[in-house]
């Protein structure tokens, strides 16, 4: 699929943040069921596909990633607890691309999106930080329900990376 630029509005969500390495991604993957259960216990229906939000990226070290689920704008965001936090995905312009394939192939899809943006002269909402590159909003939306489509090679994922301007 060809990347494009879209304008996204602010989106409330509930999420759990984890610190992981590329070789030990399990704790962040396991956080989504906890978020869905937390929402169900409070009677809140998701308002979109679950996502990972990358806050800090150090491919050779630690990544700070949040497993999140959008919630409706019109509903009051439930109070957070020690582990589950309420937040907002920021509004703005995003470079996006849809990827169909096994999650293992997202590394290449991400590299392709980054390269496309560089060729376009686009700048990311990102900056160097003490623990790696800090992003304002670097998102992977998992649009396929594994209960409906168990073949991971057919899963649809939307990458959406916020631009600086």
CA dihedral 18, 21, 23, 24 (to 10 degrees): -30
- How far apart CA 35 and CA 58 sit, in angstroms, is 25
- Give the domain CATH number at 79: 3.20.80.10
- How far apart CA 61 and CA 66 sit, in angstroms, is 17
Question: What tens-digit pLDDT sequence spans the chain (165 residues)?
Answer: 799 999 999 999 999 999 998 888 889 999 999 999 999 998 999 999 999 999 999 988 899 999 999 999 866 666 677 889 999 999 999 999 999 999 999 999 999 999 999 999 999 999 998 889 999 999 999 999 988 999 999 999 999 999 997
pLDDT of residue 51: 98
User: Is 14:84 a contact under the CB 8 Å cutoff?
Assistant: yes
Model confidence pTM above 0.85: yes
CA dihedral 27, 141, 108, 57 (to 10 degrees): -50
Structural domain boundaries enclosing 48:
4-162
User: Is 68:53 a contact under the CB 8 Å cutoff?
Assistant: yes
Number of domains making up the chain: 1
């Amino acid at each position: 699929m060809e990347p494009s630029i879209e304008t996204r509005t602010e989106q409330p969500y509930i999420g759990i943040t984890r610190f992981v390495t590329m070789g030990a991604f399990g704790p962040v993957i396991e956080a989504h069921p906890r978020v869905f259960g937390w929402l169900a216990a409070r009677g809140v229906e998701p308002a979109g596909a679950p996502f990972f939000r990358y806050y800090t990226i150090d491919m050779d070290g630690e990544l700070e990633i949040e497993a999140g689920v959008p919630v409706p704008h019109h509903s009051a965001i439930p109070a957070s607890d020690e582990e589950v936090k309420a937040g907002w995905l920021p509004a703005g312009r995003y470079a996006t691309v849809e990827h169909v394939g096994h999650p293992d192939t997202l590394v290449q899809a991400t590299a392709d999106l980054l390269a496309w943006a560089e060729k376009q002269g686009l700048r990311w909402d990102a900056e160097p930080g003490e623990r790696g590159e800090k992003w304002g909003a670097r998102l992977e939306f998992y649009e396929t329900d594994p209960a409906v489509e168990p073949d991971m090679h057919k899963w649809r994922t939307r990458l959406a990376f916020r631009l600086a301007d």
